[in-house]
Structure 1
Amino acid sequence: MSDDPDIPVESDRVPGAPHPRETRRLVGQDPALAAFQTAAASGRMHHGWLITGPRGTGKATLAWIIARWLLAGTGSPDLSVPEDHPVARRLRALSEPRLHLVRRSLDDKGRLRAEIVVEDIRKLLSFFHMSAAEGGRRVAIIDAADDMNTAAANAVLKMLEEPPAGAVLLLVAHQPARLLPTIRSRCRELRLMPLSPEDMATALAPLEVAGNPARLGALAGGSVGEALRLSGQDGLDRYADLVALFARPEMDRQAAAAFAQDAAGRPGAGGDPFDLTMTLLDRFLSRAARTGLMGAQLPEAAEGESAVLARISPDDRAARHWASAQAELSARARAGRAVNLDPVALVMDMLLTLAQAPGATEARGRG
């Protein structure tokens, strides 16, 4: 494999979880697996595959399962490859010469780039040219394809238009709409869906996450990767604090200030506290809107959450208000971050704005 195995930070790894190349089982995505199995059984392997779906639902795991099966050549209809197969061992060690991994690389100062650049794709072109003489199947994984800048995307498009012999490109995309339409049109899509509560429990069981798995799964919205991120940042406890703010007849300003203060921590290995806070606010407003439209949600993501959401979002009108507030606060967070506003003041302002919203004040009046 021509990707550098000594890169200290793997941009395609979720903190607290095995890397997708080390994950043997894809949970809850049988339709996507079946779609690829049917294509493989037909004997006409397409050269470009676009693997889409929300973050943390197993897209990279599926890409590595497909790559392992293609390179091992076992022909097993269920895409299985024995763990002790030479290809499986080389992939785990990042030493398989017929696979190239494209992900965000390090710049000349040793920092992780914000995007996949054209130099990364040129290395992929070199890989295909140098390995052409060996013949046989060659596989590239681009994770995530929506991280590519314009020049990189155009270079990949040329490969999809004139694919090297024996090459299969697996493009992982969290937001496929960000890709060039011509890239999407030249790939077959395998779409993954959010996991059900039952599948979330199955996927999280071997990972030994901190916190209540059912509540973690509910808050993560069917994304294993998001559940791991939330677990690693005490997301359940933080969300419970947020719900408690709206459970009181009047918002406790001291408690709100403490919640806002936690958003000011420095980003670390577990993630960015401000990003976590924005995620939790977004989830709370989304769940409030959904409650107004569809009624109480189960399982709860925090103790007493269903009662709080039912009080502040009892009907369609309240649901529309919370959906609008979600979009407005998301835009405010992006704008505030862009001009380096104090995160504590920004979050406190958001909380006080939400506390004065008609849905919240009317619900408290009824309480």
Structure 2
Amino acid sequence: MSDDTPTPDQAPGAPHPRETQRLFGQDSAEQAFMSAYTSERLHHGWLITGPRGVGKATLAWRIARFLLATPPIEDDGLFGAPPPPDSLEIDPDHPVAHRIQAGAEPGLASITRSLNDQGRLRNEIVVDDIRKLGKFFGLSSTDGGRRVVIVDSADEMNVSAANALLKMLEEPPARTTLLLISHQPSRLLPTIRSRCRTLRLSPLGPEDMQAALMQTGAQMPEKTDHLAALAAGSVGDAVRLINLGGLEIYAELIAILGTLPRMDRQRALALAEAAAQRGAAERFELLLTLIDVALSRLALTGATGSAPMPEAAPNEAETLTRLSATPHQARKWAEVAAVITARARHGQSVNLDPAALVLDTVFKIQETAGQSR
């Protein structure tokens, strides 16, 4: 991969987690780890879970920096131990921080999806990615220092890789901490989950979201309430929405829904053609995600009797309330959401033309709007 291509553990348009100094909105998770550390009950395996984009990788790299830069109690010398640390903060000028920033810290190994023999990024973490840790443990054990492994994300391990990692969790090398990042821990082997302590991260509130976005350098939109509604507390999703024009795509989608049941087919066709443009794979994937969001918000509106707030697009509340005013309509939208998601994923798997797939989806929505009247 070229230098400007995001790595598998980096959100497009955002700094790499190792470059992110501050973590916002996750004080409880940080304090849970610090409590284990200061009480000398530091577990060898940690499962860091939560929605995408809420800071799981940032927390893992903060923990790695802290563990590698903080001397053990027995190494404190003859003049008494200093007070135990009360946060994960490490001076950016610390040698460990510099080495991690440069990707040159010998006590740290980062496991992500690797390139195959053709130089293409694999879809999963394979057993060879895990087995290379054997060499890492052998080289780093010579200085007797602490070692940290970050797996991002553990959900992407295939069966062989998961079993290889399980053996390390069952018989962990001395002075080693394994940090497993997981967006969907239910996909992991139960035996892996049982051998790790869990740190659960939560979606960010508005103020923490604003601060975290400013740290990424993302260009903030004028309508931050729309962004907050669509991102649902995920900084990663917010950056993706900003960089791919997600707010504009969702606004157009809501505008098209506003023409139902007599849908504006010209606008629907334009939306479909935009998704089919060369090099628009990420925007196409985002569009499918936003269609799912719109249908979910439609179902929620009918189920609760009011549209979700804040609005995620202009006139969204009016449109959602008109199309989904009763629990019966809510059920219809929930059912069609499941059908559309399955059809869309199948269409992707057989390389169906994106424009045709989007039009098929929009016409299915139009059909449902007619049945729900």
The amino acid that maps onto 1:10 is T
Whether the aligned pair in 1 keeps the contact of 2:332 and 2:372 (CA below 8 Å) is no
- Misfit runs of 4+, over 3 Å: 4-9, 358-361
Residue 365 of structure 1: aligned partner = none
Among candidates 85, 89, 96, match of residue 94 of structure 2: 85
Among candidates 280, 283, 286, match of residue 296 of structure 2: 286
Whether the aligned pair in 1 keeps the contact of 2:6 and 2:12 (CA below 8 Å) is no
Residue 155 of structure 2: aligned partner = 146
Give, in angstroms, the shift of residue 130 of structure 1.
2.1
The amino acid that maps onto 1:44 is R
> Structure 1 stretch 204-213 or stretch 222-231: which is displaced more?
204-213
RMSD: 1.9
Residue 39 of structure 2: aligned partner = 42
Secondary structure of the 1:13 match is: coil
Whether the aligned pair in 2 keeps the contact of 1:266 and 1:272 (CA below 8 Å) is no
> Structure 1 stretch 200-209 or stretch 281-290: which is displaced more?
200-209
Distance 1:86 1:5, change over 3 A: farther
Q: Distance in 1 between matches of 2:266 and 2:370?
A: 22
Q: Distance in 2 between matches of 1:359 and 1:30?
A: 48
> Structure 1 stretch 332-341 or stretch 138-147: which is displaced more?
332-341
Whether the aligned pair in 2 keeps the contact of 1:321 and 1:359 (CA below 8 Å) is no
Whether the aligned pair in 2 keeps the contact of 1:293 and 1:315 (CA below 8 Å) is yes
Residue 186 of structure 1: aligned partner = 195
Secondary structure of the 1:21 match is: helix
Residue 308 of structure 1: aligned partner = 319
Whether the aligned pair in 1 keeps the contact of 2:112 and 2:151 (CA below 8 Å) is yes
Distance 1:291 1:201, change over 3 A: farther
Give, in angstroms, the shift of residue 5 of structure 1.
11
Give, in angstroms, the shift of residue 272 of structure 1.
1.8
Q: Distance in 1 between matches of 2:157 and 2:196?
A: 16
Distance 1:198 1:276, change over 3 A: same
Secondary structure of the 2:123 match is: coil
Q: Distance in 2 between matches of 1:290 and 1:33?
A: 33
Among candidates 13, 17, 23, match of residue 16 of structure 1: 13
Secondary structure of the 2:132 match is: helix
Q: TM-score when scaled to structure 2?
A: 0.91
The amino acid that maps onto 1:110 is G
Secondary structure of the 1:79 match is: coil
Among candidates 275, 278, 284, match of residue 266 of structure 1: 278
Give, in angstroms, the shift of residue 359 of structure 1.
6.9
Residue 165 of structure 2: aligned partner = 156
After superposition, the C-alpha distances for 1:262-298 in whole angstroms (9 at most, x for unaligned) are: 1112346xx5232111011011011111222232222
Secondary structure of the 2:151 match is: strand
Secondary structure of the 1:356 match is: helix
Distance 1:7 1:134, change over 3 A: farther
Whether the aligned pair in 1 keeps the contact of 2:46 and 2:178 (CA below 8 Å) is yes
Give, in angstroms, the shift of residue 210 of structure 1.
4.7
Among candidates 232, 242, 255, match of residue 267 of structure 2: 255
After superposition, the C-alpha distances for 1:120-141 in whole angstroms (9 at most, x for unaligned) are: 1111121112222211210000
> Structure 1 stretch 91-100 or stretch 313-322: which is displaced more?
313-322
Among candidates 109, 126, 138, match of residue 135 of structure 2: 126
Whether the aligned pair in 2 keeps the contact of 1:313 and 1:359 (CA below 8 Å) is no
Alignment of 1:102-113 (within 5 A): 102-113=111-122
Verify: 1:115 aligned to 2:124, yes or no.
yes
After superposition, the C-alpha distances for 1:209-244 in whole angstroms (9 at most, x for unaligned) are: 352332112111211101111111111101100000
Residue 236 of structure 1: aligned partner = 247
How many residue pairs match? The answer is 357
Structure 1: where are the runs of 5+ without partners? Answer: 363-367
Residue 322 of structure 1: aligned partner = 333
Verify: 1:67 aligned to 2:64, yes or no.
yes
Q: TM-score when scaled to structure 1?
A: 0.93
Whether the aligned pair in 1 keeps the contact of 2:38 and 2:85 (CA below 8 Å) is no
Give, in angstroms, the shift of residue 81 of structure 1.
0.4
Give, in angstroms, the shift of residue 197 of structure 1.
2.7
Verify: 1:245 aligned to 2:242, yes or no.
no
Q: Distance in 1 between matches of 2:332 and 2:208?
A: 32
Q: Distance in 1 between matches of 2:270 and 2:230?
A: 21
Q: Distance in 2 between matches of 1:153 and 1:214?
A: 40
Q: Distance in 2 between matches of 1:166 and 1:310?
A: 57
Identical amino acids, percent of aligned pairs: 55
The amino acid that maps onto 1:253 is R
